[in-house]
Chain A
């Protein structure tokens, strides 16, 4: 099955991003496809490369970035939501790209399921 993922919350305050990451990893391990993860609302903070959690905790931003590189998942940050919150090319983590909301509509159109992770 082909899954699109929508992440609605930033790292740490909510579990949404963790749950989305675990879901994507599990889906890929089961042989499903996850062509795109779209980050919207505070979800855009998942792409902030300045995030520096303590060493004994998970690094949510880096984890997404590594997944994108290893599994070729397209991580898209909403440009409008990002601009509002100061997520721009300058502080964008490797493996993410910034694009428009049309990419979310496309993910809804082009996958079997769009799974939303939020509060």
Chain B
């Protein structure tokens, strides 16, 4: 009941954010995205992973006008910027990877050029290794 005080001083972990769902049919994509953005403040290593219909989350050209929902595709650009800033800043120990599962991408007729952000394409087996070596997996 009382607020727990975690000692996170100097802790460096690898958190995988697992996106499995299409962008607008459910709220998972948007809320995972919000949790990724917050975690940046903690300077942890992160894998932002897209599998199954989750690969559509970063497909170029979302048009949500008829859905009357917020188009959050631009927010993935912010994630890419955070990643690039971390890559360029030598003082910052924060490694972010944006990963698409190859099988999910190909099954949906997509190629890396279809995505709004630059991605690493990994096979299902390679992705399994990424998950196995993560300290925590957060997803929706």
Contacts and interface: CB of A to CB of B under 8 A. Distances in A.
- Contact-residue size bin, chain B (C-beta under 8 Å from the other chain): 20 to 34
B11 interface: yes
B31 interface: yes
A83 to B, nearest CB: 12
A74 B3 contact: yes
Given A105-B42, A108-B136, A72 B11 contact: no
A105 B15 contact: yes
B35 A101 contact: yes
Nearest to B42: A105
Nearest to B135: A108
- Most chain B CB neighbours (cut-off 10 Å) among A100, A109, A113, A116: A109
Contact of A35 (B6, B11, B31, B137): B6
Interface string A35-54: 11000110000000000000
A104 B4 contact: no
A88 interface: no
B140 A114 contact: no
B1 A68 contact: yes
Given A100-B38, A102-B38, A116-B137, A40 B1 contact: no
30 contacts: A4-B136, A35-B4, A40-B35, A41-B27, A68-B1, A74-B1, A74-B4, A80-B34, A97-B3, A100-B38, A101-B34, A102-B38, A102-B42, A104-B38, A104-B138, A105-B15, A108-B13, A108-B135, A108-B136, A108-B138, A109-B6, A109-B8, A109-B42, A109-B44, A110-B6, A110-B7, A110-B8, A113-B136, A116-B137, A118-B139
